[in-house]
Amino acid sequence: MSWRKDQGRAERGYHHGNLKEALLQAALDLISKKGPAGFTFADAARMAGVSPAAPYRHFRDRDELIASIAQRGFEQFESLLTQAWDDGRPDTVSAFERVGKAYLAFAREEPAFYSAMFESGLPVDSNPTLMAASERAFAIIRAAAERLAALAPPGTPRPPAMMMALHIWSMSHGVASLFGRGDAARRKLPMSPEDLLEAEVLIYLRGLGFLTDRRPGTDAADDKPAGEKAGPWGKPK
């Protein structure tokens, strides 16, 4: 079953035993229109064209239904970030810039998933499957931060890579939530969200003393070819 939000009701309705998928699509549609707190379990059943009791065959309650949507969102998010990161090719900074753009693209193009993932108020750590999916997505940002940390010149004080990952994730999430959304929540600004995020990250890295200027195909710390593995402080192994 397709997960596009522009499907007609007849197509997404309960048929051929696809009750679970029909309910998930119905809830995704409702989230896009009303937000994750703007509908009831019965509303999702009605949207899917089934009785109010039918959803209980697959979901304990509305929170479990939204958690399933959030899990799928994180899985798509992880795939998008992984593709953007591409193991840091052709150089770390360029690859990380792609990750930032992918983050904003997901928020803009999949606002219902994004809302379920980050704005539903669900305690992620109480759902092991959802928690694992969110951690896999964050691991891409952490991997990028670890590679960025390796670019610091020798002797440059820097926060731990995990803290850098949290800092950069906070910047990405803030820009996405305030300016990069594909719905009415989007704010207006005199530059693109991508340009704003790039400027924030570069200012952050330069503030830590990182070298962020680079030629195509090289990493910034010592202009080594991008294919070489970086050791501590960005020196080739």
pLDDT in tens, 55-114: 899 999 999 999 999 999 999 999 999 999 999 999 998 999 999 999 999 999 999 999
Same domain, residue pair 194 and 226? yes
Instruction: Write out the DSSP string of 71-117.
Output: HHHHHHHHHHHHHHHGGG-S-HHHHHHHHHHHHHHHHHH-HHHHHHH
Q: Of 59, 80, 109, at which residue does a domain stop?
A: 59
Same domain, residue pair 48 and 77? no
Q: What is the dihedral of CA 161, 127, 125, 136, to 10 degrees?
A: 0
Same domain, residue pair 37 and 124? no
Element housing 49 (H / E): none
Same domain, residue pair 40 and 93? no
Same domain, residue pair 166 and 195? yes
Q: Can you tell me the distance from the alpha carbon of 80 to that of 82, in angstroms, rounded to the nearest whole number? A: 5
The token duo for 11 is: 């197509």
Same domain, residue pair 131 and 72? yes
Same domain, residue pair 160 and 185? yes
**pLDDT tens-place string over residues 136-156:** 999 999 999 999 888 888 887
In Å, how far are 8, 47, 71 from 75, measured between CA atoms?
A: 25, 25, 6
Instruction: Share the mean pLDDT of the chain.
Output: 83
In Å, how far are 82, 163, 184 from 187, measured between CA atoms?
A: 28, 28, 8
Helix (H, G, I), strand (E, B) or coil at 17: coil
Q: What is the pLDDT of residue 216?
A: 41
Question: Is 0.85 topped by the overall pTM?
Answer: no
Element housing 20 (H / E): helix 19-34
Same domain, residue pair 149 and 51? no
Q: Of 35, 59, 83, at which residue does a domain stop?
A: 59
Domain membership of residue 126 as a residue range: 67-234
Q: Of 9, 27, 59, at which residue does a domain stop?
A: 59
Same domain, residue pair 107 and 140? yes
Same domain, residue pair 199 and 115? yes
Same domain, residue pair 163 and 118? yes
Same domain, residue pair 76 and 52? no
Q: What is the pLDDT of residue 95?
A: 94
Total domain count, the chain: 2
For residue 115, the domain's CATH number is 1.10.357.10
